[in-house]
Structure 1
Amino acid sequence: MDRFDAMRAFVTVVTEGSFTRAAERLDKSPQLISKYVSLLEQRLGVRLLNRTTRKVRLTEAGTRYFQRAQPLLDEIDNLENQLGDLHAQAQGQLRISAPVSFAMHHLAPPICEFQRDHPAVSIDLQLNDRKVDIVEEGFDIALRIGHLKSSSLVAKRIAPVRLVMCASPDYLARHGTPVRPEQLKQHRYLRYSFMENDASLAMHQWLRVAGRDSGADLVSNNGDLLVQAAIAGAGIALQPTFISGAAIASGQLRVIMPEYEPEPMGLYAVYAHRHLLPSKVRTFVDFLDGYFGDPPYWDAFDPGVSRQSET
């Protein structure tokens, strides 16, 4: 028995959730995958998986083995792929899913630059703020913003994403500048409707504490619209600086309540597997890594100028 074949069979069963899907992934029969795992258990002298007719579950020993085996296989795969990339050019169609506002503001330059460096790669870029199923919908990469939960997907952090509360100078002159969450009761709130991140939920809770049970005066599923509404004096928005940063830098918006600024989120490149990762995917992820800077260029505004005095 090849030790690495058995290890790969076991790891694939765990990540895919069944012997049948693991067999399809590795292009082998389910019987052979089962044999590999059984032989591996015999060689180690421990049971790694508890099998039922519907699912497989890791034993304690299996959990410990999986935690060490998966990174080891990933390192071997990466080494072999990197050596192969010395002779393999990134090519083919690269399907990318990305958030609407981020892509509209910041994604065209790196994509154009990437294609100049890699002319054999064509790009199909689909913009959508919903969380797409990468495997089911056939995407190579999804760019996602948030605090990502653990999953079977691979996520590479590309840049930090800062969220700030902001409003126009005119709005603040008319309604005053809140300095504590409870003072939001007197203010109009412009809410992004995809309330999946901790920051938006925190803002919503502050409004409830302040007695604003309705939650918002304007709700939209597009951050650009909310920033434009804030510039027009419609109220206070909690938005990422990759959308609001230019307006803050120009003085059209001011940052308020900076001490209540949420912890930064992240922009991530998410893809399905490390194993046999196509060169086009690895090359694009490596290209984006560090492209926007840390802190990113959209956070270059001067906080001392953009923040309203608390007098």
Structure 2
Amino acid sequence: MDWLNAVQTYVAVVESSSFVQAAQQLNITTSACSKRISWLESQLHCQLLLRTTRRVRTTEQGQQFYLQSCDWLSQFNNMRQQLGPSSLGLTGSLTIGAPAVSGSLFVTPLIASFLPKHPHLNIELLEVEPGEIPDLSLDIVVTRQLDNFDSTSYRMLHLFNYAVKCFASPTFLAGCGSIQSAKQLQALPLLLVQGQIKAGGVKLNEGTVLNQACRFVTHDPMAAIQAAVHHMGVVLVSEDLVQQHLLDGKLVEVLPGLLSEQRSVCAYYPAQRFENPNISAFLQHLREQSQAASNNHQ
């Protein structure tokens, strides 16, 4: 038995002067209604109601308890409304973490389409290192799926899969001779980013692992792409990052059709007993937009 249900039942009985009517209002049995009142009286060590065949009325202590109960229920409902969803919609702030490139190309457009629907919400986007364990101070972290990460402190939402391809400048490839197989890439300077190096390299779909970095290393995929444009080696990134360079002829795909193994992009967020409405709303937005993007690519 809990105090809230018992007090609500007591108020309903007093205001209807009937166990039967109170039970009907609360959608419980008359027996359950009577048990709640008996439990209250046993907890308070006093009689609250006088029961007759015709009506139910309060004792002096019962009337005093009724007035206090009404006040307490009113305060409880006010508190629940203040802490629950606002009539203004989402309010307050939301802090999202993402690697620099994901934040710029994926998360920022999502924020741009989300904020106009919630004019009283503020969002801060912070940069995080790819593959690092999420910081509990952040509401949501969007990053690639973390291998062997199992924590009761977080929940994970899968967003989409991706694969990288190999790109280089025509000038660089002209100096390399004909490239016919993935094995030949192992002898070329690879513009791997630090996240790829930490992961042990990039495994291609045909089994070859590319893990030998050249003399230039960066944590920024966009810097690695610029290095490829300037003929420094082969870069392994998602095709959407180099679309303009492909159109301009500054980069070309090496061994068309060759892909890395697929990786997943996920959203990590703190596991909480009570859902934060701001987090829940943005996660729903992530689901919808990721599904829409997936359908468009099919």
Instruction: Give TM-score, length-normalised by structure 1.
Output: 0.58
Whole-Å separation in 2 of the counterparts to 1:185 and 1:198: 17
Distance 1:167 1:280, change over 3 A: same
Q: Percent identity?
A: 20
1:141 equivalent to 2:140? Answer yes
Distance 1:217 1:286, change over 3 A: same
Q: Structure 2 counterpart of 1:139, which letter?
A: L
Residue by residue, what CA displacement relative to the aligned partner does 1:127-179 show, whole Å, maximum 9, x if unpaired?
A: 122525422xx110001114554523211122322211111222222323523
Aligned pair count?
211
Structure 1 residue 207: Cα displacement: 5.0
In structure 1, the partner of 2:156 is 155
Whole-Å separation in 1 of the counterparts to 2:156 and 2:169: 36
In structure 2, the partner of 1:98 is 98
Greater mean deviation of Cα atoms: 104-113 or 275-284: 104-113
* SS, match of residue 191 in structure 2: strand
Higher relative contact order (CA 8 A, sep 6+): 1
1:174 equivalent to 2:172? Answer no
Whole-Å separation in 2 of the counterparts to 1:189 and 1:229: 10
Structure 1 residue 245: Cα displacement: 3.6
In structure 2, the partner of 1:221 is 219
* SS, match of residue 270 in structure 1: strand
Alignment of 1:73-222 (within 5 A): 89-130=89-130, 131-135=132-136, 138-146=137-145, 148-151=147-150, 152=152, 153-195=154-196, 200-202=201-203, 206-207=209-210, 215-222=213-220
Structure 2, unmatched stretches of 5+, are: 3-83
Contact 1:144 1:268 in 2 (8 A): yes
Residue by residue, what CA displacement relative to the aligned partner does 1:251-297 show, whole Å, maximum 9, x if unpaired?
A: 43222234541222122111011531211001111112242544498
Contact 2:90 2:278 in 1 (8 A): yes
* SS, match of residue 116 in structure 2: helix
Distance 1:145 1:250, change over 3 A: farther
In structure 2, the partner of 1:23 is none
Alignment of 1:237-248 (within 5 A): 237-248=235-246
Contact 2:167 2:234 in 1 (8 A): yes
Whole-Å separation in 2 of the counterparts to 1:207 and 1:157: 26
Contact 1:159 1:296 in 2 (8 A): no
Whole-Å separation in 2 of the counterparts to 1:270 and 1:179: 40
In structure 2, the partner of 1:279 is 277
Distance 1:249 1:238, change over 3 A: same
Moved over 6 A (4+): none
Distance 1:149 1:113, change over 3 A: same
Contact 1:95 1:123 in 2 (8 A): yes
Structure 1 residue 223: Cα displacement: 0.5
In structure 2, the partner of 1:15 is none
Residue by residue, what CA displacement relative to the aligned partner does 1:6-56 show, whole Å, maximum 9, x if unpaired?
A: xxxxxxxxxxxxxxxxxxxxxxxxxxxxxxxxxxxxxxxxxxxxxxxxxxx
Structure 1 residue 191: Cα displacement: 1.3
Contact 1:88 1:279 in 2 (8 A): no
Contact 1:89 1:279 in 2 (8 A): no
Structure 1 residue 215: Cα displacement: 3.5
Q: Structure 2 counterpart of 1:124, which letter?
A: E
Instruction: Give TM-score, length-normalised by structure 2.
Output: 0.60
Q: Structure 2 counterpart of 1:264, which letter?
A: Q
Structure 1, unmatched stretches of 5+, are: 3-83, 209-213, 301-311
Whole-Å separation in 1 of the counterparts to 2:293 and 2:117: 23
